[in-house]
Structure 1
């Protein structure tokens, strides 16, 4: 098996459930060599308290250069990019280093409505980073922000958002519909010509921390292995659905379980640790 390499440019989450830690776990489970560039350090407590400590552009650039020059990259994803300065830096490095298979996970708003991106960063993402993306993977609030829509309440709204975001330049847009109030967990994939509706039976689980990171990391891993965007997205949806179904019930809102798909294949069912 040829070794493939994936790089995550994202925030560090000390709880291990989201951000860079979730990305690296996902890469490992999907047989891809994972590397990480820390853009910020996020402290998330079980009671919802959050702190954001942003890294300097110089530190982020040095990490990027080191990973690419010494190891090489077959795909790269971005996660939390808190400031416009960081977004513009990453966009410049993607072009300068000719980084392939860029997946943009636009980490804009938390599940509880907290902001993880400054307004100038959102503008920079729309103008400079999205035109470089192979795939962009917003959830409903993020898609509304990128598409400049007040909200998205149904599949028709998802389709409109996907079209608007595609006009910003990415190759494919995946609007994740897991937050729709009813029905199956449905995502939309739009490549500028065709809308593909991807459905999975909704998993009623309270422990979903890191689901978006895991999904976009799985897309990144599959692109690194040479899959098409559609194949990568389909495989990622299957992966994250199982990860949600067997999530870790830890520390308030628990985290999805990137090992769960492997457990299912191997017929294992370890007991989760107790907190």
Structure 2
């Protein structure tokens, strides 16, 4: 099984490392822009060889994994199209799915595309952060809308080789869910960081564990998150609007109804504790 991974960062590098170690891939070809990062990937065992040219990377590949920022995926699809055959399966790892699925129309055989999103990662980036166990027991969502059955099976086999748990859903449902559980939390963390920066950056030094936990995700790649916010803008704006309404209501309660505040906080605490018990 020859696998091409375009974008050998944290996710792409970790995937290549695991697929080589598990024996799922007989060869992993990496592709990216940074020679230093690709050389690191080679030295760490994430790839068997690398190239800077997407078209060269996918030549002869059975499976192509696009692990670049969501804004670039359409251009990557166009670049690799001449070497994508009816036997080539293409997937991605982006955290926005509707826009990527739409871009798959640029491929010569759109039914060979299976949208994917591993729910794993850290605030670190680059091949140097690669971890073969990154996906162990994590969810890996696929959005196989109109995909060929054998293409789905191949991607499912890849997911199984990583130790992740496969889950299927529509692209629209995926984007709605992750607007709430990932994209909005990141937006709020960046917003709080910007507020602190404008007010007094020194305030960060007084923060305890709660602030550090909340702000950790604001150390993530800014370009990647800009692209995610833009790509999932409709669902994110809907979530942000609901959040804004709830925040304003809670602020109003603080000034007028302490019992209502206590009841709301207790309901949220019960929700979080129940969620912890099931994970």
Same fold, judged at TM 0.5 (above): no
The normalised TM-score by structure 1 is 0.35
The normalised TM-score by structure 2 is 0.34
Larger helix percent:
2
